[in-house]
């Protein structure tokens, strides 16, 4: 006798026949209702009457009926997925005893009582919260307009750096999935349940899989919370780069609301996906893009951004992508190996740059990782992609295009050198310090020499013939190279208050390039790091060293530089652009850092215009307050944040120039 089959929820409520096809029955598919064609997990089991939790009783109007409420199981197995277990783990020891256990063929299956233990009210509410935000977003902003908005943003050349292969696919599939959002009162709950069911499914692939077959597992009717999160990350990023899109927003307030809703729903989508304990490549991609969104929304100094980067690194290690991904058993397809290399490389690079920017320890050491970078986009297979113990520079194909992956390769190579410099700064008293600095400098110069000519910015940015995206990435590559040299020279200084001519020349080049990017900002497209990040990470340290040099005015510096006019002009442009609000405005997350630095620059420029640059005899001598001022500075040579600029503002020369100037 054939077993009894339950109708889907849509057919059951309409009291019509259902042919029970999955993922969507014929009736729902033909009526464009496939997205809400949901089958209950236990359709013939009578539900027990349970008392509501206090939090549910407080807002009954926002909750679904008992039949429409999505059943949310946070994990299919209450025992956590251990992820990657390395050579020091107990598994490695037991594998020596039982080699057949390398691949477990009969995993433990949780009992019904175990499964019941894994259902938590808090996670159930998380799903309802995601459904509510989804309804609010799509009821406030038209879905078609959001899709056009993201496509317009993509047409400028911008994209999500790691999710680049899937951004457009996830955007196109949004309208296919949400085609009947107004036909059911609780459509948002039905969609939330469908997204959750799909997110539980593992992503399957074999050694001969291609990227299209891989993506098909999280598109169309298999859309997941991760897919939704990638689309929403693109929406949030687009609101940063595009200030006016009439079909969505015409005012800053509406723009802020869209950014807030899309970011919040992206957060919830990620939280739900992670709660399922099914960590995979797509979740890792969403984690990284969500971190980048928060650097724009909360700021580069925000603890929220910092902690989310830590979560990305935790997932990298849990998935084992810090190991050689090409030796994964069983073998994985080439596109997936490259995707995992990119995930490791871009996270490693972000860790080093954020650590330097914030003056905090890096959390991802290449000592415990297999250092690997993605192949060049030409995919010739001829270039080397792993650094050996001697740190031989990676070879590049001469026809390598300028793209996200190329920029990622270069940023990772520079980050490896930055990690070496950070280790040197921790032990400046070592006997061979100068020798190791010389070795790192040789490596940096060798890496630059191995770059294809089209990647080396030799003249001004205005002279580049490439498009807006290519200009931005060329500037980023040059700034990373200068930053390595800057940090090397910084490590040789005994104190920040006495910069030498070498670091001054490097600072001049960095500041000039950042100022040129400010002036050409309408002709540039975010190629992985935004303009505000380049200003804070590269421009402010360079400007700080230049101001210290001008204030100190040693005779040898004066002799080496006959004129400061161009440098003063660049400082003036920087200050003017900040003051008019073209870079950051009050309320922006990085406003405080940049504005305080600008105030100090302005005080210096005012003193120059009134009195000219002081001669060495005019600088306060030891015993007149200069020693006390120098003592304000932190011993951390990489610290150029707010405290640096506050301390610099109290230089005796600036205080003496005009007593009426307000202190910072």
**Which of 358, 63, 33, 23 has its CA nearest to residue 176?**
33
Quick check: 190 and 177 in contact, CB under 8 A?
no
pLDDT classification of 71: cutoffs 50, 70, 90: very low
Q: Which residue has the higher pLDDT, 535 or 381?
A: 535
Q: What is the mean pLDDT of residues 402-427?
A: 93
More confident residue, 248 or 654: 248
Q: Give bridge partners of residue 386 from the DSSP assignment.
A: 372
For residues 37 and 28, the answer to whether their CB atoms sit within 8 Å is yes
CA triple 215-217-221, angle to 5 deg = 115
In contact, 80 and 277? CB cutoff 8 Å: yes
Per-residue pLDDT band at 556 (split at 50, 70, 90)? very low
The residue ranking higher by pLDDT, 355 or 458, is 355
**Exposed / middle / buried, residue 311 (Cβ in 10 Å: 0-12, 13-18, 19+):** middle
Domain range summary for the chain, segments of one domain joined by +: 1-43, 121-297, 457-657
Q: Which residue has the higher pLDDT, 282 or 56?
A: 282
* 2, 202, 120, 181 alpha-carbon torsion, rounded to 10°: -80
- Mean of pLDDT over the chain: 80
- Is the per-residue pLDDT at 590 higher than 60? yes
Instruction: Determine which of 78-82, 195-199, 600-604 has the lowest per-residue pLDDT on average.
Output: 78-82
- What pLDDT does 42 receive? 58
| pLDDT, average across residues 477-503 | 90
- Count the neighbouring beta carbons within 10 Å of the beta carbon of residue 387: 19
pLDDT bucket at 11, cuts 50 / 70 / 90: confident
* pLDDT reported for residue 478: 97
Q: What is the mean pLDDT of residues 554-582?
A: 74
CA distances 588 to 511, 595, 646, Å, are: 22, 11, 20
Distance of CA 231 to the CA centre of its chain: 15
- Could you give the angle at which helices 468-492 and 433-450 cross, rounded to 10 degrees? 170
Taking CB atoms within 8 Å and a gap of at least 24, the contacts of 97-105 are none
Q: Please, are residues 64 and 189 in contact by the beta-carbon 8 Å criterion? A: yes
- Residue 623 backbone class (left: φ over 0; alpha: ψ -120 to 50; beta: rest): left
Among 24-33, 66-75, 130-139, the minimum mean pLDDT is found in: 66-75
Which burial class, exposed, middle or buried, applies to 292 when counting CB atoms under 10 A from its CB (0-12, 13-18, 19+)?
Answer: buried
- The pLDDT, as a whole number, for residue 7 is 83
Three-point CA angle 266, 271, 274, nearest 5°: 125
Confidence of residue 648 (pLDDT cuts 50, 70, 90): low
Give the residue, 12 or 576, on which the prediction is more confident. 576
Question: What value, to the nearest 5°, has the Cα angle with vertex 486 and ends 481 and 491?
Answer: 130
Architecture of domain 1-43: Irregular (4.10)
Residue 531: CB atoms within 10 Å: 20
Residue 249 bridge partners (DSSP): 245
Residue 5 φ/ψ, nearest 5 degrees: -110, 140
Question: In the prediction, which pLDDT does 72 show?
Answer: 44
Give dist(CA 501, CA 508) in Å, integer: 10
**Cβ atoms within 10 Å of 565's Cβ, excluding its own:** 8
CA–CA gap between residue 129 and residue 285 (Å, rounded): 23
pLDDT at 64: 35
Angle, helices 252-275/121-140, rounded to nearest 10 degrees:
150
Per-residue buried b or exposed e for 434-469, using 16+ beta carbons within 10 Å of the residue's own CB: eebbeebeebbeebbeebeebbebeeebeebeeebb
Identify whether the C-beta of residue 302 lies closer than 8 Å to the C-beta of residue 175. no
pLDDT beyond 60 at 241: yes
Residue ranges of the alpha helices (H) in 80-209? Answer: 90-97, 112-117, 121-140, 143-155, 164-177, 187-200
173-182, 280-289, 404-413, 466-475: segment of lowest average pLDDT: 173-182
pTM score of the predicted model: 0.81
Least confident span in 39-43, 230-234, 325-329, 367-371: 39-43
**Cα end-to-end distance, the chain, whole Å:** 84
pLDDT of 62: 36
- pLDDT category of residue 613 using cuts at 50, 70 and 90: low
**Per-residue model confidence as pLDDT tens digits over 521-538:** 999 999 989 999 999 999
Q: Is the pLDDT of residue 217 over 70?
A: yes
Report residue 449's pLDDT band, with 50, 70 and 90 as the boundaries: very high
Q: Percent helix, strand, coil in the chain (nearest 5)?
A: 60, 0, 40
User: What was the pLDDT predicted at 218?
Assistant: 96
pLDDT at 517 over 90: yes
pLDDT at residue 232 greater than cutoff 90: yes
Q: Residues 371, 386: contact at Cβ < 8 Å?
A: yes
Q: Write out pLDDT tens, residues 102-118.
A: 444 344 444 444 444 44
């Amino acid at each position: 006798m054939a077993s009894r089959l339950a109708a889907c929820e849509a057919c059951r409520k309409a009291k019509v026949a259902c042919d029970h096809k999955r993922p969507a029955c014929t009736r729902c598919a033909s009526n464009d209702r496939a997205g809400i064609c949901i089958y209950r997990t236990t359709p013939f089991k009578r539900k027990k009457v349970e008392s509501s939790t206090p939090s549910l009783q407080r807002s009954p109007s926002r909750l679904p009926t008992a039949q429409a409420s999505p059943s949310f199981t946070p994990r299919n197995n209450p025992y956590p997925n251990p992820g990657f277990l390395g050579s020091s783990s107990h598994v490695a020891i037991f594998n020596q005893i039982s080699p057949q256990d390398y691949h477990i063929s009969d995993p433990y299956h949780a009992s019904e009582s175990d499964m019941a233990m894994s259902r938590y009210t808090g996670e159930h509410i998380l799903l309802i919260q995601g459904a509510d935000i989804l309804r609010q977003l799509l009821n406030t902003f038209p879905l078609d307009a959001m899709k056009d908005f993201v496509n317009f943003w993509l047409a400028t050349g911008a994209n999500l750096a790691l999710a680049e292969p899937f951004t457009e696919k996830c955007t196109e599939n949004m309208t296919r999935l949400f085609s009947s959002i107004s036909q059911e009162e609780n459509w948002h709950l039905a969609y939330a349940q469908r997204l959750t069911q799909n997110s539980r499914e593992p992503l399957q692939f074999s050694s001969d899989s291609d990227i299209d077959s891989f993506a098909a597992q999280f598109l169309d009717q298999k859309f997941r919370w991760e897919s939704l999160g990638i689309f929403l990350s693109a929406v949030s990023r687009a609101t940063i780069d595009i200030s006016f899109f009439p079909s969505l927003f015409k005012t800053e307030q509406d723009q802020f609301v869209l950014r807030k809703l899309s970011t919040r729903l992206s957060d919830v989508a990620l939280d739900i996906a992670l709660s399922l304990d099914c960590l995979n490549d797509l979740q890792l991609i969403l984690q990284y893009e969500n971190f980048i969104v928060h650097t724009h929304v909360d700021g580069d100094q925000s603890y929220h951004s910092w902690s989310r980067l830590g979560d990305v690194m935790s997932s990298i290690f849990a998935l084992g992508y810090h190991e050689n991904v090409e030796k994964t058993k069983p073998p994985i397809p080439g596109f997936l190996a490259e995707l995992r290399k990119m995930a490791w490389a871009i996270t490693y690079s972000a860790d080093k740059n954020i650590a330097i920017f914030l003056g905090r320890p890096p959390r991802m050491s290449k000592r415990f990782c297999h250092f690997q970078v993605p192949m060049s986009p030409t995919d010739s297979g001829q270039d080397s992609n792993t650094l050996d113990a001697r740190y031989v520079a990676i070879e590049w194909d001469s026809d390598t295009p300028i793209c996200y992956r190329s920029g990622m390769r270069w940023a990772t190579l520079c980050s490896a050198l930055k990690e070496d410099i950070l280790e040197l700064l921790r032990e400046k008293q070592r006997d061979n310090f100068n020798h190791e600095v010389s070795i790192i400098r040789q490596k940096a110069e060798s890496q630059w020499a191995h770059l294809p000519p089209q990647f080396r910015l030799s003249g001004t940015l205005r002279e580049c013939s490439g498009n807006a995206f290519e200009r931005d990435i060329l500037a980023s590559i040059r700034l990373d190279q200068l930053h390595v040299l800057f940090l090397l020279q910084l490590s040789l200084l005994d104190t920040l208050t006495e910069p030498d001519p070498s670091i001054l020349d490097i600072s001049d080049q960095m500041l000039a390039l950042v100022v040129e990017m400010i002036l050409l900002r309408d002709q540039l497209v975010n190629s992985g790091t935004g303009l505000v990040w380049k200003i804070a990470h590269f421009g402010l340290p360079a400007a700080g060293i230049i101001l210290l040099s001008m204030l100190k005015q040693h005779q040898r510096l004066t002799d080496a530089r006959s004129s400061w006019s161009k440098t003063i002009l660049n400082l003036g442009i920087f200050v003017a652009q900040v003051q008019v609000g073209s870079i950051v405005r009050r309320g922006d997350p990085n406003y405080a850092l940049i504005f305080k630095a600008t105030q100090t620059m302005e005080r210096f420029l005012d003193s120059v215009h009134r009195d000219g640059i002081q001669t060495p005899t005019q600088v306060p001598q030891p015993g007149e307050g200069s020693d006390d001022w120098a003592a304000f500075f932190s011993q951390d040579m990489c610290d150029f944040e707010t405290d640096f600029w506050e301390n610099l503002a109290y230089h005796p020369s600036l205080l003496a120039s005009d007593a009426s100037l307000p202190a910072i």
